[in-house]
Amino acid sequence: MAEVLSNLSDALAAAVAAAGPSVVRLEARGRLPASGIVWSPEGVIVTAHHVVEREENIAVGLPEGRTVPGALVGRDPTTDLAVIRAQATGLPPTAWADNGALRVGHLVLALGRPGRDVAATLGIVSALGGGWRTPAGGRLDRYLQTDVVMYPGFSGGPLVDAAGRVLGLNTSALLRGVSLAVPVPTLREVVGALLAHGRVRRGYLGVGAQPVRLPASLAQQVGQETGLLLASIEPGGPAEQRGLLLGDTIIALDGQPVRSLDDLRGSLSGDQVGAELRVRIVRGGQVRELPVVVGERA
């Protein structure tokens, strides 16, 4: 037993040693520093949005001990992610994990650099799920919950597997009282958008809606049981400009069924901003199609 525990202990220490050089300290708020992950050797750092309280006088503490200036590239509050560009090159690259093999019960480590040295805490994956929409409206490719203790300064740091590969970015701000990690696929999507545009572009129609059950005959005709009843329409918004009315029920957008608010939000990706899509509605018991140009959510 002692040998097993000793081997496990050595393996965990090796995982920290492997991932630690890609963890930086981030000073962007008035109190305790937070952590960040090296995204690229050219000084791109990804961290948690909620720890970046100021956009000027940001300092990045590098693993070898230097502190360099950093500048905010962009942020996405809905996924609690932000990108900082540090005035440094040659930073150690991060090893990213394929978390497709991740299972509930797997050992994981949360790493942070609230001071000069890297710190770690051990836990397990406590819950996994499919795509998940945050309370702020962002979408994560996967729900990844752990029981790691998020010590002060750990937010924005990596969640790593037993081999020291990064599974995601730790945050305590997406769900109150719960330690979550933003998974790697979501990191890649959001960081790419922030580097390209400084923000995550999200489409919108300018409507307020609620799910409703379709009459049985209509449900059989369109092949779905629910749609979205328009309860409000923004004056001058994309929906009003193309003739959508209060009381219309959206059942499809761009050929994809719309049964819930998540379906609608999922159909309005950033790359569709400015595109004309066909919205399929029920009006007065009749199915109609209207063209609508997707707007960009401010």
- pLDDT 10s digits, 145-164: 999 999 999 999 999 999 99
Report the distance separating Cα 281 and Cα 232, nearest Å: 15
- Measuring CA to CA, which residue among 193, 16, 200 is closest to residue 108? 16
Q: Does the structural domain 203-296 have CATH classification 2.40.100.10?
A: no
Q: Residues 34, 36, 42, CA angle at the centre, nearest 5°?
A: 140
Query: Comparing 89 with 200, which gets the higher pLDDT?
Result: 89
- Options 22, 35, 49, 50, the catalytic residue: 50
Indicate if 155 belongs to the active site: yes
User: For all residues of the chain together, what is the average pLDDT?
Assistant: 93
Q: How confident is the model at residue 272 (pLDDT cuts 50, 70, 90)?
A: confident
Report the distance separating Cα 161 and Cα 109, nearest Å: 6
- What is the CB-side half-sphere exposure of residue 254 using CA atoms within 13 A? 15
In this prediction, residues 173-178 reach a mean pLDDT of: 91
Cβ neighbors of 46 (< 8 A, separation 6 or more) are 36, 37, 39, 81, 82, 83, 84, 156, 169, 187, 191
Position 177 pLDDT exceeds 90: no
Q: What is the pLDDT of residue 3?
A: 82
Indicate if 50 belongs to the active site: yes
Fold exhibited by the domain 1-198: Thrombin, subunit H (2.40.10)
Position 280 pLDDT exceeds 80: yes
Range(s) within the chain of domains with CATH label 2.40.10.120? 1-198
Q: What is the pLDDT of residue 31?
A: 81
Name the residue with tokens 């979408």.
139
- pLDDT 10s digits, 22-49: 999 999 998 889 999 999 999 999 999 9
Q: What is the pLDDT of residue 138?
A: 87
Say which range, 228-232, 270-274, 279-283, has the weakest mean pLDDT. 270-274
Range(s) within the chain of domains with CATH label 2.30.42.10? 203-296
pTM of the model: 0.83
Position 271 pLDDT exceeds 80: no
- Options 155, 172, 179, 267, the catalytic residue: 155
- Options 80, 141, 161, 248, the catalytic residue: 80
- pLDDT 10s digits, 103-146: 999 999 999 999 999 999 999 999 999 999 888 888 899 999 99
Biggest CA pair distance of the chain: 74
